[in-house]
Amino acid sequence: MIPTLRILASGLAAVCLCASAAGEATPLTPEEIATATKTDDLSIPMPGEFMASLNKIGKIDWTKMFRPPIATNYTSREQMALNLGGLIADGYVAIEAEDSLQVKNIGKDILAIARTLGVSKDVLERGGSIANFADQKQWEQLKEELEATQNEVKTAMTERKDSDLVTLVTVGGWLRATEVMSGYVAKNHTDAGAKLLRQPGVVAFLNKRLGGLGEKVRGDATVAAVQKKMGELEKLISFPLERAPSGDDVKQLNTLTTEVVKDISRKQTK
């Protein structure tokens, strides 16, 4: 690995060479913007990024964001994938709260669902690491482990030709993270906090992915309910850049995300 000092020394030289070039770049055209690549790996922020930004606004009691344990034995694979994403977001909340027991319990639930989805072999080892890091209270390593776990689950799903489930894991995680963040901002409204909730690019990307799901997957009752509410969310979350969302805007967002997260965790009835 390159030592930091070497990087910084080279970097200072580079600053002198490149600073003017940055200012000379030509703006992007609307066509370029429209055709920019969007990927699950980089275009969708991880819950940890979202939480890092909120942590800068004030001291947050993350234990208040916990939710009661959810089921891990759904009959629908699609519903399991959505809940897997939600549990990963719960894992980030537990890490922010620095609650070892909660992290381990959520880790077990993640593995239980992953096992049912047939991808546990790839993540079992990660499950053990999560428990070890939690016991040792290594919170930063836990965040890395959780992100790596999510990516390994998605890779395993892709290899098993279950790409639609990858989308559902991402959607479930984003919804649960947004429920948590909007819930906090709704109760502790500040302009800076409310502005963090503006994510039009993310919702547009996720809705496009949802629209591209296979017919069978879209026919799942939970997926259909999520897709309907994600359409409403796209309108809600596209706050104008120049104005912070009001307290009512944030409450509305929180109500909708809370509803959809509950829909996701509620067992389907035949």
Which has the closest alpha carbon to 207: 246, 237, 177?
Answer: 237
Residue 159 touching other proteins (CB under 8 A): yes
The whole-angstrom separation of Cα 244 and Cα 257 is 19
Provide, rounded to whole angstroms, the least separation between the CB of residue 60 and other proteins. Answer: 13
Instruction: Quote the DSSP letter at residue 65.
Output: G
Provide, rounded to whole angstroms, the least separation between the CB of residue 51 and other proteins. Answer: 10
Query: Restricting to residues 52-81, which ones interact with other proteins according to CB under 8 A?
Result: 52-53, 56-57
Residue 192 touching other proteins (CB under 8 A): yes
Query: Restricting to residues 102-141, which ones interact with other proteins according to CB under 8 A?
Result: 140-141
Candidate residues 108, 115, 189, 198; the one interacting with other proteins per rule CB under 8 A: 198
**Contacts for 134-142: CB closer than 8 Å, 24+ residues apart:** 134/100, 134/101, 134/103, 134/104, 134/107, 135/100, 135/104, 137/98, 137/100, 139/95, 139/98, 142/91, 142/95, 142/103
Provide, rounded to whole angstroms, the least separation between the CB of residue 28 and other proteins. Answer: 3
The whole-angstrom separation of Cα 172 and Cα 154 is 13
- In the complex, the residues that contact other proteins under the rule CB under 8 A are 1-4, 6-8, 10-11, 14-15, 17-19, 21-23, 25-30, 32-33, 35-46, 48-50, 52-53, 56-57, 140-141, 143-144, 147-148, 150-151, 155, 158-159, 192, 195-202, 205, 241
